Structure 1
Amino acid sequence: AVRLFSLLIGRMMQEAGPPGWTSTACLRHYKMLVVGGGSGGISMSARMKRMLGAENVAVVEPSEMHYYQPIWTLVGAGAKTLTSSGRSTASVMPSGVKWVKSKVQEINPDTNTVRTDDGNEISYEYLIVALGLQLHFEKIKGLPEGFEHPKIGSNYSVQTVEKTWKALQDFKEGNAVFTFPNTPVKCAGAPQKIMYLSDAFLRKTGKRAKANIIYNTSLPVLFGIKKYADSLWDIVKQRDLQVNLRQNLIEVRADKQEAVFENLDKPGETKVLEYEMLHVTPPMGPNLVVQGSPLADEAGWLDVNKDNLQHKRYPNVFGIGDCTNLPTAKTGAAVAAQTAILNSTISKVLKNEKPDKIYDGYTSCPLVTSYNTVILAEFDYNGQPLETFPINQAKERRTMYHMKADVMPHLYWHGLLRGLWGGPGPYRKLFHLGMK
C-alpha cells in the first residue's frame, strides 16, 4: 500500500510539473522552433540542426505521415502509387531534433510563444513558420460529401487522389471536366496536368473519341507565364481540348453528376455541366493559425520580406513556403530555393549582421503533358523564365518527364529534406556559363 501511495504521489508530481507550472501549460524553450513538418519545415530543421545543434531545435507537426505531394499528379493518372509518395514523419525528422507531435493552436509573437492543441506552451528565441496553406473543399456547395460518389476526384488530397484514377479508369463516354478555383493555389499547373494525362489515357484505351475534355479555369489565361502558355495553347488545339476561361466551380451535384460554374466576367450567370468524370481543384487559403495571428498580412498570409524571408514586423520570425505572401507560385521547387536563402538570412541575423542573399522568386512547375513528356516551366518574381538548362524548356521533352517522375522524388527525399538541396541556382550558372 505504501509503495502504491508513493507511486501515486510520484505520478501526481510528474503531472503537476515543477513549481509554478500547470499540467496544461508545460513551458518548454527552444532556440529555434519550427512550426510545420512539410517540405519547408523538415528541410529547415535539418539546416538548423547543423547550424545550432539538434538539442536547440524543435519541430511542431501532428502528422504521422509525410507526403511528397508533387507526385500526386502521377498517382491520379495511375502512373505512380500513393504508397510511393509517403514516408513516416519519424523517418524524415532530423535525428536528435525534438519532434512535438501536436497541432499548433496559436502563435503569439509578442511573447515568443506557441500554444499547441493539447494546451502546452512552447517558448522560442527564433521561429520558422512553415505551416503551408488550407484546402477549402467546403467552399464548393456539395463538397466534400460529394466525394462519396463515384466519378469525382481531386489530386490535392491524400483522401481523394486515388478517386481521380478510379474515375479515369471507369470513364465510358461524355464530359471529362477539370477545374481551377478562384483563389491562389499550390502548384498552379497541376489542375491542367491531370487533363493532359487523362487525354493520353483515354487515347491509349480507345475511349478518346467518345470524350469531351473540358478545362474550366477561373483565370483569364491558360498559364501565367506567356512563353509556356503559348506552348500549352498549341497542345490544347492539337489534342482538341476545350478550355473555358473565367469559369469558377461553385457547386457539385454528385448524385446527378452535375457541376455548376459561375461566369466571373458576368457574376450571377451560371452554367450546369454534366460530367462522366470530374477533377476538382479546391479553393485554397491561408493557414488559419497564421491568419488569426499578428504575423498575418491583410489577406491572412504570413507577412515576410520577399528578399530574405524575414518577417516584416518581428525580426526573430521567418517564413517559408505556401503559408507566406511571397509573390511567386507556391511549389516545392520554390521551397527548395527558399531554404538556401533563409539559411543565409538566419545565419546573418544570429551574428547581428544584415541579410545579404536575395531571393529572386525562383519557382518551377514541371507541366506534365503526357505519360512521357513534360514542359519544364521555371521563372522568377517578374514572371520571366529563369531556366536551368541551356535548351528551350517550353518544348515537350521526354528527359524532363524522367526528371519529374524519377529524379525529383529522389532529390526531395535525399537532398531537400536533409537540407542539402537549395534549388538549381548554382547549376543554372554552370550550364549558362555564368550568364543568367
Structure 2
Amino acid sequence: MAATPSPSDAPLSGRHRVAVVGGGSAGISVAARLRRAGVTDITLIEPSDTHWYQPLWTLVGGGQAPLRSTRRPEGSVIPDGVRWIRRRALAVDPETRTLTLSGGAELTYEYLVMAPGIQLDWGGVPGLAEAVGHDRVSSNYAPEYAPRTWELIKDMRSGTAVFTHPATPLKCGGAPQKIAYLAADHWRRRKVLDDIRIILVIPDPALFKVPAWSQVLEKVAERYGIEVRLRCEMTAVDGAARELTVTDHADGTKETIGYDLLHAVPPQSAPDWIKAGPLADPASPQGFVAADRHTLRHPSHAEVFTLGDVANLPTSKTGAAVRKQAPVVAGNLLDIMNGRTPSHRYDGYTSCPLVTARDRMLLAEFDYDLNPTPTFPLLDPFKERRTMWAFKRYGLPPIYWHGMLTGRL
C-alpha cells in the first residue's frame, strides 16, 4: 500500500480529524482499522523511513533469521488514504489540541492516538552507551547490534557470558532471557557449554511473572547450567576492562563480574517529550502515557487514546498486546466520533513467545490477572514445542505484515 500524499508534500494547515503519533505496529494498525471503517482525514506522524518487525530480532541475534527479513520501507505499510508526515513529534498541548513537530511545524487535531513506542535509555547505565557495539558487548534491542550478538555467540568457546535485564518496564519482556537460552543451546550443540559460565541477571523475584511458566523456565535455566541472579540489576559497565557491576537489590551489595560476552538490555522509558508533557501518567516513573486500562482512553483528555509500548498499562509490552489493543482503540474512537460511549474493552491480553532452544518455544499468553489465555487451548502451554518455534519463525511474520498492519487481524 502506498502513502498518499508523499511525505514531502503532506499539508499541515487546518485541523486534522485524527492524528496518529507513531508509525510502528500500534500506529499503523489503528490507522488501517479506521480507514477500513471509512474514516477519512487521518494523519500519521512518523520520522523514520524504515518499518521494523522487532519480534524477530531475538532470532537474528541467535543466528536463526537475517536482519533484512525484519525491515520494509515505511511507505509500504502506511494504509492508502492516510497522510504521512515524516517529521518528529516534539510536544503536545491537549488543551488546544495541537502537536508541535520538528522543523517548527504545528498541526491541530480533533482526535489523537498516541503510539510513538518506547525509548532505549543507553545512558541509563554508566558505561553502557560507550561499550555497546564494542568490547564484546551487544544487544538485540537495536538492529545495528543484533547481528553482532550472533557473531559473538558463534565465536565463543570458553569464558563468561552475561545476559542482563533492566529494572524498568521494557518491550518484549522475555527477550533478555530468550537470547541466553539460544546461546546456551548453541554452545551445547558445539560441545563447549561446559567451558562457558553463563550468568542471567534478572531484577524480579522470579524468572517470569506467571508462576507456572516461571517454573518451566527455572528448569530450562538449570538444564543449561545458567546462574540466575534474581532481584539483581546491571548498574555499570567498564568496556575497556570487560567488567560489569551487578547490584543485588535485596541487600544492596555490589559485585564486579568480568565478561567475555555481554548481552545488555538498556533501561527503557517513554520518549523524553512525552515524559515532560501533559499526557504522562504521574504514577509512571518512566513517563508513560496515562490510559484507562480497559478503554485505553486518557483519563483527563477524552479525545486522546493510547496503545502499545508507550501506554502505562499493567501488562507486558509486546506486539501481541498491540494486536488486541488496536481494535479497542479503533472501535472506541469510532464510538465517540458517533456520539456513543466507548464500548470496546481490553482485558490486558499479552503474549510472550519464550524461545528456549534453537527449535523449541513456550507460548505464554495471559491477561491482567495473570490468567493463562491460550490461543491453542488443546495444547499444553507449559510444554516446549517445536511447532511453537516454527510458528514464531515462519508463521507470525506474514501474519504481522499482511494481517495485523492491514487491519485485518
TM-score, structure 2 normalization: 0.94
Which of 372, 382, 393 aligns to 1:385? It is 372
Which of 364, 382, 387 aligns to 1:394? It is 382
Report whether the alignment pairs 1:271 with 2:259. Answer: no
Partner of 1:47: 33
Contact 1:151 1:170 in 2 (8 A): no
Q: Structure 1 unaligned runs (5+)? A: 1-24, 422-436
CA distance in 1, matches of 2:400, 2:209: 25
Partner of 1:244: 229
CA distance in 2, matches of 1:309, 1:73: 29
Code of the aligned partner of 1:162: P
Displacement after TM superposition at 1:275 (Å) = 0.9
SS in 2 for 1:156: coil
Report whether the alignment pairs 1:111 with 2:111. Answer: no
Partner of 1:59: 44
Report whether the alignment pairs 1:418 with 2:402. Answer: no
Partner of 1:224: 209
Which of 408, 418, 424 aligns to 2:396? It is 408
Displacement after TM superposition at 1:285 (Å) = 1.1
> 1:339-376: CA deviations, max 9, x gaps?
11112211211111111222110000000001111000
Partner of 1:352: 339
Number of aligned pairs? 395
Partner of 2:3: none
Partner of 2:134: 149
CA distance in 2, matches of 1:28, 1:170: 57
SS in 1 for 2:128: coil
> 1:120-149: CA deviations, max 9, x gaps?
001111000001111111111112111242
**Which residues of 2 match residues 81-96 of structure 1 at below 5 A?**
81-96=66-81
Which has the higher mean CA deviation after the structures are superposed, 192-201 or 283-292? Answer: 283-292
CA distance in 2, matches of 1:374, 1:324: 28
Code of the aligned partner of 2:359: N
Code of the aligned partner of 1:130: A
Report whether the alignment pairs 1:189 with 2:174. Answer: yes
Displacement after TM superposition at 1:104 (Å) = 0.2
Contact 2:135 2:240 in 1 (8 A): no
Cα RMSD after superposing both structures: 1.3
CA distance in 1, matches of 2:405, 2:122: 29
Partner of 2:13: 27
> 1:206-248: CA deviations, max 9, x gaps?
2212111110111111111111101111111222111111111
CA distance in 2, matches of 1:149, 1:400: 34
**Which residues of 2 match residues 247-396 of structure 1 at below 5 A?**
247-267=232-252, 269-298=253-282, 299=284, 300-390=287-377, 391-396=379-384
Displacement after TM superposition at 1:26 (Å) = 5.6
Partner of 1:38: 24
Partner of 2:84: 99
Report whether the alignment pairs 1:160 with 2:145. Answer: yes
Which has the higher mean CA deviation after the structures are superposed, 339-348 or 400-409? Answer: 339-348
SS in 1 for 2:59: helix
SS in 1 for 2:132: helix
> 1:294-326: CA deviations, max 9, x gaps?
111112211111111111111111101110111
Q: Structure 2 unaligned runs (5+)? A: 1-10
CA distance in 2, matches of 1:164, 1:62: 27
Displacement after TM superposition at 1:87 (Å) = 0.4
Displacement after TM superposition at 1:52 (Å) = 4.0
Partner of 1:6: none
Partner of 2:7: none
Percent of counterpart pairs with the same letter?
38
CA distance in 1, matches of 2:153, 2:136: 8
CA distance in 1, matches of 2:206, 2:122: 23
Code of the aligned partner of 2:107: I
SS in 2 for 1:144: helix
Displacement after TM superposition at 1:172 (Å) = 2.4
Structure 1's consecutive aligned runs of 4 or more residues displaced over 4 angstroms after TM superposition are none
Contact 1:38 1:130 in 2 (8 A): yes
> 1:45-69: CA deviations, max 9, x gaps?
1112223444x01100000101000
Displacement after TM superposition at 1:170 (Å) = 2.1
CA distance in 2, matches of 1:204, 1:28: 61
Going from structure 1 to structure 2, the CA distance change for 1:265 and 1:340 (only over 3 Å counts) comes to same
Contact 2:45 2:85 in 1 (8 A): yes
CA distance in 2, matches of 1:225, 1:53: 39
CA distance in 1, matches of 2:180, 2:331: 39
CA distance in 2, matches of 1:310, 1:139: 30
CA distance in 2, matches of 1:192, 1:148: 19
SS in 2 for 1:326: coil
Contact 1:150 1:167 in 2 (8 A): no
Code of the aligned partner of 1:45: A
Contact 1:109 1:314 in 2 (8 A): yes
CA distance in 1, matches of 2:376, 2:258: 43
Displacement after TM superposition at 1:336 (Å) = 0.2
Going from structure 1 to structure 2, the CA distance change for 1:160 and 1:345 (only over 3 Å counts) comes to same
CA distance in 1, matches of 2:132, 2:200: 20
Code of the aligned partner of 2:75: A
